[in-house]
Amino acid sequence: MADLDNKEQAELDPADMEDVEEVEEEETGEDVNSKARQLTVQMMQNPQILAALQERLDGLVGSPSGYMESLPKVVKRRVNALKNLQVKCAHIEAKFYEEVHELERKYAALYQPLFDKRSDIIKAVYEPTDEECEWKQEEEEELTEEMKEKAKLEEEKKDEEKEDPKGIPEFWLTVFKNVDLLSEMLQEHDEPILKHLQDIKVKFSDAGQPMSFTLEFHFEPNDFFTNTVLTKTYKMRSEPDESDPFSFDGPEIMGCTGCTIDWTKGKNVTLKTIKKKQKHKGRGTVRTVTKTVPNDSFFNFFTPPEVPESGELDEDSEAVLAADFEIGHFIRERIVPRAVLYFTGEAIEDDDDDYDEEGEEADDEEGEEEADEENDPSYDPKKDANPPAECKQQ
């Protein structure tokens, strides 16, 4: 039997033997690649390895790649000249943003009469005319005359059944609840207070003063605190840091200050009272101790962590401030200018559409890749028969 196998082996064409060897090598290579992929997936799922890798990458940020050291001295000298030009560019960019800030101040004054009228309508100080209330629907949303009449009758019937509301009740509370970034801050005990919020205004720093902006929250008289306005001021750095000028990418928020809320006794929702039972070690007697501890609330927004002179913060404070800056910027840039669209939900739909478009683009790219593979004459679908290691069932 062994002789027969040897005979068949000898009768094989040498070229065929080469093909066999190549196939075996390819299969061996595929096995190695598969094992490598599995190992990579396992490593990337290990939090300790990920942390070590991130630490290593952080250490590489800003470090020379080795290419600069290989350059001739005369070339390095010219690169230094380019870097000096870059610093001058950063200072010109800072001037650009200063002028942008001045434009913001100028146009804020033009917007304000419109925002004031918006506030008057919300507070029922001003009743808009029929002409001001006329809104032309888009063509696809237009109703037939019969449907319009039916809707009008139903609306009138509802109005008869309930009291005539003043202005637009709970306008700002509805805005907050419609926006994920803000609704995450709201607690149930905050809502009765925010029903009294009548307006939010943005005030920019005066000309010649350090760049900053202040958010003003205007409240009607209420049972919770005596303040009529709560403020939050954000200080911004508008010039490059001399120690790191290349990091400049426009004005950035450097710190913020809130205000003192004059709470009515027993109404402070940022604090809560808890009772704890303590047992005496020796006598075994039990006593009840009452403690006042911080409580989750939107109104903690007005008491942000203080930034020490050293500028160093612990991780928790850094996270709170980072979220605070994002919220302040969002209120200034999106909420105040487009409040009615967040009240109706239209602005939120626009935001969702933006994400959908990105997703569709990604899907299109994947489709193109699949089509390219199918059109590739060297493409072998059998090689894709096995799913990647991370997709295999355990």
Count of the separate structural domains present in the chain = 1
Residue 40 in tokens: 């990579």
Q: What is the pLDDT of residue 32?
A: 58
**What CATH code is carried by the domain that includes residue 233?**
3.30.1120.90
Please report whether residue 100 resides in a domain.
Answer: yes
Of 292 and 261, the structure prediction assigns the larger pLDDT to 261
Nearest residue to 299 via CA among 264, 332, 261 = 261
Please report whether residue 22 resides in a domain.
Answer: no
Please report whether residue 137 resides in a domain.
Answer: no
Q: Nearest 5 degrees, angle CA 304-CA 307-CA 313? A: 100
End-to-end alpha carbon distance in the chain: 43
Q: Which domain holds residue 271?
A: 79-128+167-352
Residue 375 in tokens: 């059109």
Nearest residue to 352 via CA among 118, 126, 178 = 178
Of 160 and 290, the structure prediction assigns the larger pLDDT to 290
| Chain segment 175-204, per-residue pLDDT in tens | 999 999 999 999 999 999 999 999 999 999
Please report whether residue 7 resides in a domain.
Answer: no
Give the Cα separation of 148 and 64 in Å (integer): 70
| Chain segment 229-284, per-residue pLDDT in tens | 999 999 887 777 777 777 777 777 778 999 999 999 999 999 998 888 877 777 77
Q: What is the pLDDT of residue 188?
A: 95
Nearest residue to 168 via CA among 355, 369, 374, 340 = 340
Please report whether residue 241 resides in a domain.
Answer: yes
Q: Which residues face 218 on adjacent strands?
A: 199, 229
Please report whether residue 56 resides in a domain.
Answer: no
